Amino acid sequence: MRITRSRAAWAAALGLAALVQVTPGYAADYKIDLSHSFVQFKISHLGFSVLNGRFDDFAGGFTWDKAKPETAAVNVTIKAASVNSNWAERDKHIRGKDFLEVDKFPEASFKSTKYTGDATGGTLDGELTLHGVTKPISIKMKAIGEGKDPWGGYRAGFAGTTTIKRSDFGVNKFELGPQSDPMDFELFIEGTQNK
């Protein structure tokens, strides 16, 4: 039987549709939901107590597929001037020349290079740029959950922890004592899947 060009085109389209249905899903891209995400830090205060703070303004996204966690990737940019330690005068000092120098270095950023682990958690390696200095860091990650939200979207959330030394990034003012060099970070990131 002779197949017309129109029938051949329909046959090809049906074949492509069948292929798409059986092809495994690919990693999805997510946009960070700032209203449900937090970048928090802790630092020793003279060895007597702990100073807590956060950065209020950041943006970015991540790629995630729990069936292929090794493909995970993250890219985040943080506005350094958004530092918030719950004390205006201290925050003004932190933004100044003794610490973050936000006029000179307005942004910090993190870009991942590798994820090692499974769908429940692992280690995210990447490059942190802070105070104009870029260094490799590792973040211990834990998947919190993912699924459809009540508004028709799809979300995924993660928690992470890491410790850096301020001196590694050229922030060498230690008026809080040498024990204030290490900074512990807690990250809570929730993203909405791009449509």
- Looking at residue 195, its pLDDT comes to 82
- Looking at residue 26, its pLDDT comes to 57
For residue 23, give both structure tokens: 């092809």
- ∠63-69-75 over CA atoms, to 5°? 30
**With contact defined as beta carbons under 8 Å apart, do 65 and 27 qualify?**
yes
For residue 11, give both structure tokens: 């046959």
- Looking at residue 181, its pLDDT comes to 94
**With contact defined as beta carbons under 8 Å apart, do 160 and 142 qualify?**
yes
- Looking at residue 169, its pLDDT comes to 97
Which residues neighbour 158 within 8 Å (Cβ) at sequence distance 6 or greater? 141, 142, 143, 144, 187, 188, 189, 190
- Looking at residue 173, its pLDDT comes to 85
- Residue-by-residue pLDDT tens, the chain, 195 positions: 444 444 444 344 334 333 333 333 458 999 999 999 999 999 998 889 999 999 999 999 999 999 999 999 999 999 999 999 999 999 999 999 999 999 999 999 999 999 999 999 999 999 999 999 999 999 999 999 999 999 999 999 999 999 999 999 999 987 777 888 999 999 999 999 998
- Looking at residue 5, its pLDDT comes to 46
> Which domains, ranges and CATH numbers included, belong to the chain?
26-193 (2.40.128.110)
